Structure 1
Amino acid sequence: MLDTFVPGKVKALTGYIAGKPLASASLLEVRSPYDGRVAGTVTLASRKDTEAAIEAGLKGGVKLTRYERFAILDKTRQLLEERKEEFAELITSESGLCIRETRYEVGRARDVLHFAALEALKDDGQIFSCDISPQGKARKIFTVREPLSLAVAITPFNHPLNQVAHKIAPAIATGTPVILKPSEKTPLTAIRLAELLYEAGLPHYMLSVLLGPTAEVAEVLVTDPRVELVSFTGSVAVGKHIAKNAGYKKVILELGGNDPLIVLEDADMELAVTLAAEGAYRNSGQRCTAVKRILVQESIHDEFVAKLVEKTKEYVTGDPASPETRVGTVIDEPAAIYLEDVVKKSVAQGAKVLIGGKRNGAQLEPTVIVNVPRDAQMVVQESFGPLAPVMKVRDLDDAIALANSTAFGLSSGIVTNDMQKAIKAVKELRMGTVNINEVPGYRIESSPFGGIKDSGLGIKEGVIEAMKCFTYVKTFSLPW
């Protein structure tokens, strides 16, 4: 049974090897990025523990029916709904994200569990008649999906609950055992979700949760040939390291984005400004699909910028636990210092900060920057924070060329009332997602989501596509 949350109390949590609490004298201390208070501690695993988790997952146990998988996921959803405020407070305490964002994240995770539960009941098997050619026979070929023997999920800090749910729920829906390695920066929420799943009746062999030294946990999980799938969300450098060292297994990588919002001269101005602010500032700008570049047609640039500056004043920074706060901290002070530095470098190249830009510890004010050079570090690389760099473009062709010019290709948005231009953008933007009159990151939890180029390989999110990744297709045929 999951312990009752006590707001403000330090959570002493443990990793799990197939449901068994990890016994270890080594502890990880998790501190709030906002005020440095200890949010919780977690026991750390060793290489021996990692090997034990692999063996427990492979050994398996009782196989769950489709209905049982549905029931476990649905029960977990119900438990999460009952404890939604407690989970929101926990995310805020370890990540520094403001409470209004963490409440929203809990709602998204409930959707993931709900959709995964429903998909567990569906069968996408196919039937092929074999008497359809002169060489045919009186047979039928059938397809079924089989679970993998063991999968590994490695999750980032920026969505401590939803990113974890997006990997674990599809695995459970298919019956694939999974070992979770959450971010050391935000592990408390991940462990609590695992405990909810155990409470909901998940057989313990189906899930282990481990944190520890990279050489003893992550590297072992990634390279072990008995693991059939590694699903990773995080940095480009780590993702490419995994791709290089994982060996002969499925690898799913989601490695970030440098997502443009294109605003054309025929756009609804109020909508464009709202999308720019929401896309750039929500979740403290720490989303792979956040608006990282705002490409505005020259003829409306000045009007747009003036309105964006006014809109930015609504995004109040402060105590993440306060309902009035709209932008909490980024994940830690070094991350905020990096963002402050790329702003300074852009200014040295001729850019101008119109509002924001001040840093206090791990907190950076939402920042509007104009005259940003096209080769500035801020817009060439991914800037993971509440920055809104605005860049002039001549027309749609110029915007598309600039949007496509970076190493990333995850998501994009275009604000226009011209359907022909919208269609042209859909066809020519080299991104995994193109949203018309919406932020780049808009989706539902069951729709496919992933990118190209340095944004990754395979499908990371979207319950239906993820379930396909956690399975393989078996065909069999019978006389008919």
Structure 2
Amino acid sequence: MKEYKAVINGEFIDNNEWLEIINPTDNSIAGKVTALKGKDINNAFESARKSQEAWENTHLLKRISILNNFKKLLIQNKNNLAEVMTSEIAKSLKDSLSEIDRTIELIEYTFEEAKRMDPLALTGEGMGAKNKLGIFSRVAKGVVLAISPFNYPFNLALAKIIPALVMGNTVVFKPATAGSLVGSLLGKLSIEANFPKGIFNVVTGRGREIGDLITMNKEIDMISFTGSVSIGNNIKEKGSSKDIVLELGGKDPALVLDDNNLESYSKNIIDGAFGYSGQRCTAIKRVITTNKIADKLVPLLIDKVNKLTIGSPYENKDITPVIDQKSADFIKGLVEDAKLKKATILTGDKYIKNLIYPTLIDNVTLEMRVAWEEPFGPILPIIRIDNIEEMIRVANESEFGLQASIFCADINNALQVAKRIKTGTVNINSKSQRGPDCFPFLGIKNSGQGVQGVRESLLSMTRYHGIVINY
């Protein structure tokens, strides 16, 4: 069995305490990671604090050079990283490799964007203050706590880690339990890349034992978290830093306003709803349209769902097991509630342990849980509404506000509706999605706080420091 150790102050931690990571595909043990204790957590933050000033005082191009060595090791170890990712989260090998490739591009873009974080130079003459020159530079916030989710254990980890480090922060990184193998491998590669001691620390273990210890440590200057609403809200309430960026849940709607290009609309909807078995915060999680359009759209959706392949991630199937049995039971409960309330199951509703067949549910009413709750799995409800005004109202009544999709041939009509949708981003004639990673990414309401994206992450992990020259 592969053992993956935590990394603190540039050294592997072996305390003979282990946490087993379960392979969702066959319930075997994919590997095990160090189960840290409270003392270890404190050591990680103390190491990050002690090394921060020297790291920030390292020249930007030197920081980029060190991080670029790390990037090269990521590329060299791409196949191993992808295989480990597939073993612990049941993402297809093809998609695991794609996630790594995408992230390498993000890292390279981050290096270039960091070089252009130029200071502001201002005079006071516009306010009647002569002989003053203000220079306002972006400086590191200090110690960043980065917490990543299970579904994108590589991309959503490094989208936090690299911007933080390149701008002179030090990092304590806590991967999700499922995702800890990949996270621990990042720690191993950081040692091989000769990271200065203490700038990057990987802490792993049982969340119930160390979760609050991690988020409440007094050394934290900023927290970047991606994960569930409940944990995100707990961090907001109890976390030691009020400087927080949160990426939480979603209930992204797809509003179909006309029937002019239903073939394209249906393809985008299915791709958006069932990619990585629907385990994406930006997955399309409800279709909202009129009866007239739905009657034409539904057969196309059924046809495309029935063409999805189902089974093992090692065979690059479209639909693979969801992360664990608890998640599968929750998803099944949403379907059962809809059936009890007279929804129509069009296809799916079949389960083999935590492998859930892609399920389309028609005639979903607003009294059904699946109309409002985030399933994080391969089910898609279709809500039939009388008119566009009602479609907008239903879309906006959700507690979530991450993304939405609008499908409409008339761009003027699409834009008018898009402006009224209360989400961070609205996609026109395409599925909801996080990328490109250089775009700002944000959610409102219970979907998040703050903004991510390459430049936005560089900004969120720095602050202005001003020097005023009086002459």
The TM-score by the shorter chain falls in which range?
Answer: over 0.9
The reply to whether residue 158 of structure 1 matches residue 123 of structure 2 is no
TM-superposed CA distance for 1:222, in Å, is: 1.6
| Structure 1 Cα separation of the partners of residues 339 and 301 of structure 2 | 19
Query: Residues 57-456 of structure 1: matches in 2 within 5 Å?
Result: 57-60=48-51, 61-62=54-55, 63-133=57-127, 135-214=128-207, 216-323=209-316, 325-456=317-448
Q: Which amino acid aligns with 2:106?
A: V
Distance 1:101 1:248, change over 3 A: closer
Cα RMSD of the aligned pairs, angstroms, is 1.6
| Structure 2 Cα separation of the partners of residues 442 and 46 of structure 1 | 35
Q: Which amino acid aligns with 1:170?
A: P
TM-superposed CA distance for 1:266, in Å, is: 4.1
TM-superposed CA distance for 1:66, in Å, is: 1.3
Q: Which amino acid aligns with 1:74?
A: N
What is the TM-score with the length of structure 2 in the denominator? 0.96
The 8 Å contact of residues 73 and 113 in structure 1, kept in 2 or not, is answered as no
Match of 2:466 among 459, 464, 475: 475
Q: Which SS does the other structure have where 2:198 is aligned?
A: helix
Distance 1:282 1:100, change over 3 A: same
The 8 Å contact of residues 258 and 407 in structure 2, kept in 1 or not, is answered as no
Q: Which SS does the other structure have where 1:172 is aligned?
A: helix
Which position in structure 1 is the counterpart of 2:38? 47
The 8 Å contact of residues 72 and 197 in structure 1, kept in 2 or not, is answered as no
Distance 1:212 1:86, change over 3 A: closer
| Structure 1 Cα separation of the partners of residues 325 and 241 of structure 2 | 38
For structure 1, list consecutive stretches of 5 or more residues without a partner in the other structure: 1-9
TM-superposed CA distance for 1:297, in Å, is: 2.7
| Structure 2 Cα separation of the partners of residues 441 and 431 of structure 1 | 13
TM-superposed CA distance for 1:395, in Å, is: 2.8
The 8 Å contact of residues 265 and 299 in structure 1, kept in 2 or not, is answered as no
Distance 1:417 1:72, change over 3 A: farther
The percent identity for this pair of structures is 31
| Structure 2 Cα separation of the partners of residues 69 and 276 of structure 1 | 42
The 8 Å contact of residues 76 and 113 in structure 1, kept in 2 or not, is answered as no
1:130-174, CA deviations, whole angstroms, 9 ceiling, x for partnerless residues? 1224x3121211110111221111111111111111111111121
| Structure 2 Cα separation of the partners of residues 80 and 247 of structure 1 | 32
The 8 Å contact of residues 400 and 425 in structure 1, kept in 2 or not, is answered as yes
| Structure 1 Cα separation of the partners of residues 24 and 436 of structure 2 | 29
Which position in structure 2 is the counterpart of 1:28? 19
TM-superposed CA distance for 1:118, in Å, is: 1.5
Greater CA drift, 287-296 or 262-271: 262-271
TM-superposed CA distance for 1:44, in Å, is: 1.1
| Structure 1 Cα separation of the partners of residues 45 and 98 of structure 2 | 34
1:259-317, CA deviations, whole angstroms, 9 ceiling, x for partnerless residues? 00111214411111111111111011011100000112322211211011110122111
Q: Which amino acid aligns with 2:319?
A: V
Q: Which SS does the other structure have where 1:168 is aligned?
A: helix
Q: Which SS does the other structure have where 1:430 is aligned?
A: coil
Query: Number of aligned pairs?
Result: 468
TM-superposed CA distance for 1:216, in Å, is: 5.0
Q: Which amino acid aligns with 1:175?
A: G
Greater CA drift, 207-216 or 329-338: 207-216
TM-superposed CA distance for 1:72, in Å, is: 3.0
| Structure 1 Cα separation of the partners of residues 246 and 350 of structure 2 | 34
Q: Which SS does the other structure have where 1:321 is aligned?
A: helix
The 8 Å contact of residues 336 and 363 in structure 1, kept in 2 or not, is answered as yes
The 8 Å contact of residues 356 and 365 in structure 1, kept in 2 or not, is answered as yes
Q: Which amino acid aligns with 2:132?
A: R
| Structure 2 Cα separation of the partners of residues 424 and 247 of structure 1 | 42
Q: Which amino acid aligns with 1:380?
A: W
The 8 Å contact of residues 70 and 118 in structure 1, kept in 2 or not, is answered as no
| Structure 1 Cα separation of the partners of residues 118 and 309 of structure 2 | 47
Q: Which SS does the other structure have where 1:204 is aligned?
A: coil
Q: Which amino acid aligns with 1:259?
A: D
The 8 Å contact of residues 273 and 284 in structure 2, kept in 1 or not, is answered as yes
The 8 Å contact of residues 259 and 412 in structure 1, kept in 2 or not, is answered as yes
What is the TM-score with the length of structure 1 in the denominator? 0.94
| Structure 1 Cα separation of the partners of residues 170 and 212 of structure 2 | 19
1:164-206, CA deviations, whole angstroms, 9 ceiling, x for partnerless residues? 1111111112111010111112200111123223323322311
| Structure 2 Cα separation of the partners of residues 277 and 343 of structure 1 | 18
The 8 Å contact of residues 266 and 418 in structure 1, kept in 2 or not, is answered as no
